[in-house]
Structure 1
Amino acid sequence: MAGRQFVWSGALLQLLLGVHLIVMPPTQARSLRFVTLLYRHGDRSPVKTYPKDPYQEDEWPQGFGQLTKEGMRQHWELGQALRQRYHGFLNTSYHRQEVYVRSTDFDRTLMSAEANLAGLFPPNGMQRFNPNISWQPIPVHTVPITEDRQFLEMVANETGLTDLTLETVWNVYDTLFCEQTHGLVLPPWASPQTMQRLSRLKDFSFRFLFGIYEQAEKARLQGGVLLAQIRKNLTLMAASSQLPKLLVYSAHDTTLVALQMALDVYNGEQAPYASCHIFELYQEDNGNFSVEMYFRNESNKAPWPLILPGCPHRCPLQDFLHLTEPVVPKDWQRECQLASGPADTEVIVALAVCGSILFLLIVLLLTVLFRMQAQPPGYRHVADGEDHA
């Protein structure tokens, strides 16, 4: 009874003193809601080589363009790092509703994704189908693959290449880089100075391919397509949470550069093996959404924060969508001026033939008219040998 009297007395005292109690709604902690990853495949053998290279395809255990053991280790370690980074966000065991992985249809990107998933979701308990194998199959989805001229002349002579372009120079550097990485002895002409110059040309080829001239248009047509899908996924996740928690794209250095050029966060260098661009969607304590971007390009360092120009690192979702709108193509096929379909091609050919025939008829008619006008009235051409009156 004494306790009850105390409670009533306290309430009466508050009322008498005019103190109003305001019940505050519970605060919602900031939470991670969705993650998108775009990473490059791991270390690989050269995609191709030059004619005079002493190390041809049979030098590589699986041939050209294939993921190496080092590449497998790189992506397994990236998977482990992602497992640690998203501990508490993702389940410790694989749940298919949480994760969707998409890869380009190349052996090295498919295998990179599989090695990455092995590090991200090692099996435990019921998911371990064999006690001797610390691995479980996880689906990976794909679709079919439908300045210095003297220096360049030296490279052409030493490699046996007859047509040197920025692309072939990039391939030469890539081949030598792969061979050097795997302990093969480079030819005498491939000195450190030559490798450095080839590396600079390689970096220039990336900037030329994705920037320098018509950079905004290139960004829209090259990286804007993937960025459009990422924007769509961020919007859907903020609206309904119907997507998996983790969406992964396993691709190539060119894919990464194209995306980063579209976002205007490219640092001008080739993306290293197993580098990873990260998009994180957060719901703030006020219920609004924000986007943070990171780039992991060194295995022994935390991912670098990336800042979209015109927005803070914690970029409000609506601002992110507004700022990236200009680099999203509205009609990619039309803007790229892709070839028409078979039916359209037949129409175009028919019109071209009709136009050509009409043009020839007009030329013939004009020729006849011109000759008629050039001859005076009563004029008749007299053939050689004909009598003259």
Structure 2
Amino acid sequence: MEKRTVVGVMGVITAIFLAIIGLVVYPGVNGEPKELQLLHVILRHGARTPADTYPNDPYINETLFPVGWGQLTNHGKLDMYNLGKFLRQRYDKFLGPHYSPDEYYTQSTDVDRTKTSLQAINAGLWPPETDQKWGPLAWQPIPVHSEPLSQDHLLLVRKPCAQYHLELERVMKTPEIQTKLKQHEDLFREISDVTGKTVTNFDDVQDVYSTLRAEEGYDLVLPEFIKPYYPEKMVPPTIFSFVLNAYSDKLKRLKGGVLLKKLISDWRSKADGTIKPPQRKAFLYGGHDSTIVNILRTLDMWDPQLPDYGITILLEFSIDKATNTHGLEIFLRNSTTREPYRLTVPGCDEFCPLDNLVKLTANVVPDDWEAECRSDDPDFVPPPPGGP
């Protein structure tokens, strides 16, 4: 038998063996396999009904019964269920067929639409197998954890942080941002006139855009007066509003840096064998548009775009067997109908060694978030929390 035939047969045998023991492997340096060890999935909730309105909105008095305001729609539920099936297909061998709370952990913001999104994902991801079947449904209950919104310091970061708001105010006063505001003054005024809502900045445009996007997705007919502005003219300022939230390194440090610190801690503990519980394989985090933008801006990997419903980040932490190096590969799925595409941390390879990643992001990871959130201006009064 020729040598290459023997090698080919051995390769097939190896692949079968790895499939049997449930490892996810793929080629690394010099053809040696990488082994997936820990997975983080971070996503925005699925399609929702409007969460807010504006004075001239023809639907301002609607109850949206029985769904309600700001809730996951049937379309959103189906998309999230299919996202769960996608995750099952992509990570089937790694996750294994049986749900275990020691291996898999889910957390969402304390908002109905994120919680129900994760429930739908889990239904697609974890249909009960064999001894986990408990009745006639191809479904099993899986807990979704959350923090109270006022204490959320991971996904929405609503926990009070005065210094963040002070830094954002300082950024807004810079010549660069003031110039951008000046360039959009006419648009702000015109949107104010037709909607009846005071629009003076990029966040205000985003608020109106988000309402219109949700109404349109819920098959509500938009009023004629908004069509000269939505969507085309409103898209650029809406995109920029997300960028502003993590515009500078200080803002990144206090917003997305909190989640990045948690991710790095998970990767380190998985690499050195101290992760608790030791069987942990995957985390599923359900958040909002800002959750996605803030973490990718913090990693300096955000390609400015609209973070639409269901946008998903896949962070795959593996070990390269050839070099015994732990590292990370990142993928973005920015559409519920497209395959994920690869993102690369600036200054690093597609497979970014953990030690390199830590060095590259040191300036945007807080040492002591609580201490860094204390305002350096004793007279500064932070605004009330917004959002969900």
TM-score range, shorter chain: 0.7 to 0.9
Partners of 1:233 and 1:243 within 8 A in 2: no
Which of 47, 52, 71 in structure 2 is aligned with 1:48?
Answer: 52
Which of 146, 152, 158 in structure 1 is aligned with 2:188?
Answer: 152
Partners of 2:245 and 2:294 within 8 A in 1: no
Tell me, yes or no, if structure 1 residue 309 matches structure 2 residue 346.
yes
Tell me, yes or no, if structure 1 residue 182 matches structure 2 residue 218.
yes
* Mapping 1:163-242, distance limit 5 Å: 164-191=200-227, 193-211=229-247, 215-240=248-273, 242=278
Pair 1:195–1:299, CA change in 2 (3 A): closer
1:335 CA displacement: 2.3
Partners of 1:236 and 1:243 within 8 A in 2: no
Aligned-pair identity in percent equals 35
Pair 1:109–1:233, CA change in 2 (3 A): same
* Mapping 1:44-123, distance limit 5 Å: 44-56=48-60, 57-59=62-64, 61-123=66-128
CA distance in structure 1 between the aligned counterparts of 2:95 and 2:330, rounded to whole angstroms? 18
Q: Which segment is superposed worse, 265-274 or 109-118?
A: 265-274
1:324 CA displacement: 1.6
Q: Which segment is superposed worse, 315-324 or 259-268?
A: 315-324
CA distance in structure 2 between the aligned counterparts of 1:305 and 1:277, rounded to whole angstroms? 10
CA distance in structure 1 between the aligned counterparts of 2:33 and 2:202, rounded to whole angstroms? 51
Name the SS of the counterpart of 1:184 in structure 2. Answer: coil
1:163 CA displacement: 5.3
1:192 CA displacement: 5.2
CA distance in structure 2 between the aligned counterparts of 1:194 and 1:280, rounded to whole angstroms? 37
Tell me, yes or no, if structure 1 residue 36 matches structure 2 residue 40.
yes
Partners of 1:50 and 1:160 within 8 A in 2: yes
CA distance in structure 2 between the aligned counterparts of 1:163 and 1:297, rounded to whole angstroms? 28
CA distance in structure 2 between the aligned counterparts of 1:192 and 1:239, rounded to whole angstroms? 57
- Residue type matched to 1:232 in 2? S
- Residue type matched to 1:93 in 2? H
- Residue type matched to 2:253 in 1? R
The corresponding residue for 2:156 is none
- Residue type matched to 1:114 in 2? Q
Q: Which runs of 5+ in 2 are unaligned?
A: 1-30, 151-182, 379-388
Q: Please, what is the CA RMSD of the aligned residues?
A: 2.2
Pair 1:163–1:199, CA change in 2 (3 A): closer
How many correspondences in the alignment?
A: 312
Which of 124, 129, 136 in structure 2 is aligned with 1:124?
Answer: 129
- Residue type matched to 1:229 in 2? K
Partners of 1:45 and 1:60 within 8 A in 2: no
Partners of 1:167 and 1:205 within 8 A in 2: yes
Which of 282, 285, 296 in structure 1 is aligned with 2:321?
Answer: 285
CA distance in structure 1 between the aligned counterparts of 2:370 and 2:376, rounded to whole angstroms? 9
Name the SS of the counterpart of 1:109 in structure 2. Answer: helix
CA distance in structure 1 between the aligned counterparts of 2:148 and 2:339, rounded to whole angstroms? 34
Partners of 2:243 and 2:297 within 8 A in 1: no
Structure with max Cα Rg: 1
CA distance in structure 2 between the aligned counterparts of 1:148 and 1:28, rounded to whole angstroms? 54
Tell me, yes or no, if structure 1 residue 320 matches structure 2 residue 357.
yes
Greater relative contact order, per chain length (Cα 8 Å cut-off, separation 6+): 2
| TM superposition score normalised by structure 1 | 0.76
Pair 1:195–1:298, CA change in 2 (3 A): closer
Which of 332, 336, 358 in structure 2 is aligned with 1:295?
Answer: 332
Partners of 1:180 and 1:186 within 8 A in 2: yes
CA distance in structure 2 between the aligned counterparts of 1:148 and 1:235, rounded to whole angstroms? 45
| TM superposition score normalised by structure 2 | 0.76
CA distance in structure 1 between the aligned counterparts of 2:131 and 2:228, rounded to whole angstroms? 53
- Residue type matched to 1:144 in 2? P
- Residue type matched to 2:225 in 1? W
The corresponding residue for 1:347 is none
The corresponding residue for 1:141 is 145
CA distance in structure 1 between the aligned counterparts of 2:265 and 2:41, rounded to whole angstroms? 15
1:271 CA displacement: 1.5
CA distance in structure 1 between the aligned counterparts of 2:337 and 2:213, rounded to whole angstroms? 22
CA distance in structure 1 between the aligned counterparts of 2:376 and 2:50, rounded to whole angstroms? 32
CA distance in structure 1 between the aligned counterparts of 2:227 and 2:186, rounded to whole angstroms? 16
CA distance in structure 2 between the aligned counterparts of 1:274 and 1:201, rounded to whole angstroms? 21
Q: Which segment is superposed worse, 65-74 or 257-266?
A: 65-74
CA distance in structure 2 between the aligned counterparts of 1:165 and 1:58, rounded to whole angstroms? 29
Tell me, yes or no, if structure 1 residue 271 matches structure 2 residue 307.
yes
1:60 CA displacement: 5.3
